[in-house]
Amino acid sequence: MENNDPAKGFTVTPWEVKGDVDYDRLSREFGIKKIDNELEERIKEEAGELHFLIRRGIFFGHRELGWILDQYAKGNKFYVYTGIAPSGPMHIGHLAPFIMARWLQERFGAEVLIQIPDEEKFLQKKKLGATLEELHEMAYDNAAYIMAMGFDPKNTRIFLDTEYAGTLYKQAVRIAKHVTFSMVKDAYGMGNDSNIGWIFYTSMQAVPAFLRSVEEGKNIPCLIPLGVDQDVHFRIARDVIEKLGYYKPAVIHNKFMPGLNGQQKMSASDHLNTIYLKDTPEEVRKKVGRAFTGQQATAELQRKHGGNPDICAVCQYYKFFFEPDDRLLEGIFKSERDGTLLAGEHKRDLAEKINAYLGGLNREKGRWEGRIRDFTSKG
Amino acid sequence: MENNDPAKGFTVTPWEVKGDVDYDRLSREFGIKKIDNELEERIKEEAGELHFLIRRGIFFGHRELGWILDQYAKGNKFYVYTGIAPSGPMHIGHLAPFIMARWLQERFGAEVLIQIPDEEKFLQKKKLGATLEELHEMAYDNAAYIMAMGFDPKNTRIFLDTEYAGTLYKQAVRIAKHVTFSMVKDAYGMGNDSNIGWIFYTSMQAVPAFLRSVEEGKNIPCLIPLGVDQDVHFRIARDVIEKLGYYKPAVIHNKFMPGLNGQQKMSASDHLNTIYLKDTPEEVRKKVGRAFTGQQATAELQRKHGGNPDICAVCQYYKFFFEPDDRLLEGIFKSERDGTLLAGEHKRDLAEKINAYLGGLNREKGRWEGRIRDFTSKG
């Protein structure tokens, strides 16, 4: 993860993640604070537990999380806003912000707003290979999976931009008035050849971060769990939202889920190294079977020298999602390190865990499919 | 009106009209065709009459009006799209496109779509002196006046952008994808300091020009009567709309209504020289009483030398709206030219005509005020 050599740089924008991301350096550049032990203690105090995604540093950074906890302690509840831009079927790398949002809902009683900007990828990608209508359909598929993750329907609002623009556009216009082309040009690397929809888009993404305050006619704190690549939207929006007289939204940032090949970020377009939520048990077994483990070339060498769990995709999958128990996770890491667990067994175990999770998720998603179109907010 | 000296240039954009506009030169620059005698004959043939705004060259230019008439003759009816960006109370200078739209509805049975972009001036003007909420209220006031002009409610759809964005935004995104910052930069003189809402806005204005085709799932011709300053929106949009597979909208352009001071374009911010639709009879009499007539300095000189109706604001008001009968108009012009009609009498007559018109319009507007919020389309 060390990459302090500028010549071996990395790029992190909402639309491109390239290179080997150094999260410390990224935090300095973006102005993101680390979630430190003190903050962890405070979360634990208010929530009654500390989610393993925070404990393990997968949610590593924040903006004003301390303030959110102050407000909460004073009885001023926050709401949670997150989302996903549909570009295809969802994969495991998309889950972290939703797992966190659901936990925040459960532990803090937070209302959750979920935005599905079905226009974003359409505007961003010159050659997308999908029409706006196809993205719209994908958006519903994504929405059904998200609701299947266990959000409380009574305390959750989920919407597609093209269907909720009646609510969003008016507020987006208020944001847009304070954002110049220079600002998005610098922040996103846009140019004269960028289309005007993409240029405008960030205003739409900003809206749910203060929408509840608009609706209630009084300030309500907002907390946004998101992949760190999305941070730039709120670097700009936080200042504008404050100018409009609302609380700046707070943010917590998660690291990228690695691909099965050990690459730092799972990519939806890299089918073989990505576990899609819709993958069959057989597909999961095949993909995991080909995963990069960082083990020695032969079983004999592995037994002798052991492997490195920090570069092993299988170990990382346990760490990110599939082994919430720290002691059990340490056991897995240890058996990798000391060579007692061979790759084949290791992978079979993980595939089973993934399949158990996806099995339940897809059953629940099936139940949501029939009602998701009615459930999403319109207007 | 002659202004062929580039050093004495003029500017015509949707947001600024400056200098003395040479409509011939403007037409060449914009690529607008003149509505010639042949076209006038064809309109007359289909409509059974020729509206005096066309006959008198106030609607002077067009794009593909011939094609609209061809389609109509083949039984392929067109719809009409026009609108107004609210920035304050409506004035007489705003009426021409609506008078034309209503006539087209009456004579061609055309459905009419009226867009009220209540966000446009908010985005465009750095210091507007009106909030988005205030523009929203003005938009309803404008809408009530427009409907009071006699549109058939069963064949007219009128909507505010911020309330109809649920329908408009999705289509605007399709337009926006094909419009780059370079294009709007050149067309509107935007720069790096332009805000991203204003940059995007033209996409919203383009939507009603193909919305009926989207809704019907088949191509329906669209005719747009507009002030020539709005032409640029459709210079860009026509090409994009065609790329999306729809008919290019046709356009007819009107000249600017002069101010009471004889200036070429009535301006909403120049209160003394502008007749607002809400003006009381007394205000109208006062304003018209101060109008520029181009008459001689004294009654004696005027009787001797006569005046010039072409620069006389009072004569121009008759020409634009208040004397549809050409023979009677010629009588008025003649009496100005030969000095038989003195300014005082001349102005009293006009003020009475204006007050008669505004009296009826405001009564009808009063009837619309209570129902306009329900009548505008939402979603």
Q: Give the pLDDT confidence of A19-43 residue by residue, as tens digits.
A: 888 999 999 999 999 999 999 999 9
Q: Which residues of B touch A165 (CB under 8 A)?
A: 165-166, 168-170
Gap from A131 CA to chain B (nearest CA, Å):
10
Residue A17, SS3? strand
Answer yes or no: do B194 and B309 share one domain.
Answer: no
Residues A26 and A21: their CA atoms lie apart, in Å, by 7
With cut-offs at 50, 70 and 90, classify the pLDDT of residue B298.
Answer: confident
Higher pLDDT, A293 or B151: B151
Which two tokens mark A313?
């995709």
User: Is B59:B256 a contact under the CB 8 Å cutoff?
Assistant: no
pLDDT at residue number A187: 87
CB atoms within 10 A of CB A336: 26
pLDDT digits (tens, 9 = 90+) for A152-189: 999 999 999 999 999 999 999 999 999 999 999 988 88
**B227 domain-assigned:** yes
B33 and chain A: CB distance < 8 Å anywhere?
no
* Residue in A with minimal Cα distance to B194: A180
CATH number of residue B313's parent domain: 1.10.240.10
Pick the last residue of a domain from A227, A255, A283.
A255
Pick the last residue of a domain from B224, B255, B286.
B255
- With an 8 Å Cβ cutoff, are A168 and B165 in contact? yes
Answer yes or no: do B345 and B213 share one domain.
Answer: no
pLDDT digits (tens, 9 = 90+) for B80-130: 999 999 988 999 999 999 999 999 999 999 999 999 999 999 999 877 678
Answer yes or no: do A88 and A151 share one domain.
Answer: yes
**A266 domain-assigned:** no
Answer yes or no: do B218 and B186 share one domain.
Answer: yes
With cut-offs at 50, 70 and 90, classify the pLDDT of residue B264.
Answer: confident
pLDDT at residue number B95: 96
Residues B69 and B71: their CA atoms lie apart, in Å, by 5
Gap from B160 CA to chain A (nearest CA, Å):
10
- Per-residue pLDDT for B269 more than 80? no
Q: Which H helix or E strand runs over A256?
A: none
Q: Which domain holds residue B50?
A: 6-255
pLDDT at residue number A3: 32
Q: Which residues of B touch A202 (CB under 8 A)?
A: 196
Q: Any residues with CB less than 8 A from the CB of A13 and at least 6 apart, and which?
A: A188, A189, A229, A232
Task: Say which of A164, A177, A197 has its CB closest to residue B173.
Answer: A197
Q: Any residues with CB less than 8 A from the CB of B273 and at least 6 apart, and which?
A: B259, B260, B261, B263, B266, B267, B287
- With an 8 Å Cβ cutoff, are B197 and A119 in contact? no
A245 and chain B: CB distance < 8 Å anywhere?
no
Percent of residues, chain A, with pLDDT higher than 70? 98
Please count the residue pairs, one from chain A and one from chain B, whose beta carbons lie less than 8 angstroms apart.
139
Answer yes or no: do B162 and B311 share one domain.
Answer: no
Answer yes or no: do B44 and B190 share one domain.
Answer: yes
pLDDT digits (tens, 9 = 90+) for B16-32: 888 888 999 999 999 99
pLDDT at residue number A266: 74
| Contacts within 8 Å (CB) and 24+ apart, B136-142 | B136/B160, B136/B162, B138/B86, B138/B87, B138/B88, B138/B89, B139/B86, B140/B372, B140/B373, B140/B376, B141/B86, B141/B89, B141/B90, B142/B84, B142/B86, B142/B90, B142/B116
A128 and chain B: CB distance < 8 Å anywhere?
no
A139 and chain B: CB distance < 8 Å anywhere?
no
**A263 domain-assigned:** no
- Per-residue pLDDT for B262 more than 90? no
Which two tokens mark A267?
């990519």
Which two tokens mark A206?
């900003």
Answer yes or no: do A34 and A77 share one domain.
Answer: yes
Answer yes or no: do A65 and A146 share one domain.
Answer: yes
**B377 domain-assigned:** no
Gap from A123 CA to chain B (nearest CA, Å):
6
pTM over 0.90: yes
**A113 domain-assigned:** yes
User: Is A163:B181 a contact under the CB 8 Å cutoff?
Assistant: no
With cut-offs at 50, 70 and 90, classify the pLDDT of residue B351.
Answer: very high
Q: Which residues of A touch B379 (CB under 8 A)?
A: 166, 378-379
Judged by average pLDDT, the poorest of A343-352, B141-150, B199-208 is: A343-352
Q: Which H helix or E strand runs over A63?
A: strand A59-63
B377 and chain A: CB distance < 8 Å anywhere?
no
- The mean pLDDT value for B294-304 works out to 84
**B130 domain-assigned:** yes
Instruction: Quickly tell me which residue has 């946004």 as its tokens.
Output: A224
Edge-to-edge, what's the strand order for the sheet holding A59-63?
A: A33-34, A59-63, A250-254, A222-227, A79-83, A112-116, A156-160
- Per-residue pLDDT for B154 more than 60? yes
User: Quick one: B113 exposed, middle or buried, by C-beta within 10 A (0-12, 13-18, 19+)?
Assistant: buried
Residues A198 and A121: their CA atoms lie apart, in Å, by 9
**A262 domain-assigned:** no
CATH number of residue B57's parent domain: 3.40.50.620
pLDDT digits (tens, 9 = 90+) for A59-103: 999 999 999 999 999 999 999 999 999 988 999 999 999 999 999
Largest CA distance in chain B: 67
Q: Which of A86, A153, A78 is nearest to A115 (CA)?
A: A86
Number of domains observed in the structure of chain A: 2
With cut-offs at 50, 70 and 90, classify the pLDDT of residue B297.
Answer: confident
Q: Which residues of B touch A195 (CB under 8 A)?
A: 176-181
Answer yes or no: do B204 and B276 share one domain.
Answer: no
Answer yes or no: do A323 and A193 share one domain.
Answer: no
Kindly report the average pLDDT of chain A as a whole number. 93
Sort residue B31 into left (φ over 0), alpha (ψ -120 to 50) or beta: left
Q: Which of B348, B338, B205, B319 is nearest to B255 (CA)?
A: B319
CB atoms within 10 A of CB A34: 14
Residues B225 and A9: their CA atoms lie apart, in Å, by 55
Instruction: Quickly tell me which residue has 């609302």 as its tokens.
Output: A246
Kindly report the average pLDDT of chain B as a whole number. 93
pLDDT at residue number A237: 96
CA distances from B189 to A26, B194, B227, B228, B315 (A): 37, 9, 19, 17, 35
CA distances from A367 to A86, A101, A310 (A): 21, 21, 38
**B120 domain-assigned:** yes
Pick the last residue of a domain from A255, A280, A309.
A255
Residues B221 and B68: their CA atoms lie apart, in Å, by 7
Answer yes or no: do B202 and B310 share one domain.
Answer: no
pLDDT digits (tens, 9 = 90+) for A244-279: 999 999 999 999 998 898 887 777 778 888 999 999
pLDDT at residue number B120: 95
Answer yes or no: do B132 and B164 share one domain.
Answer: yes
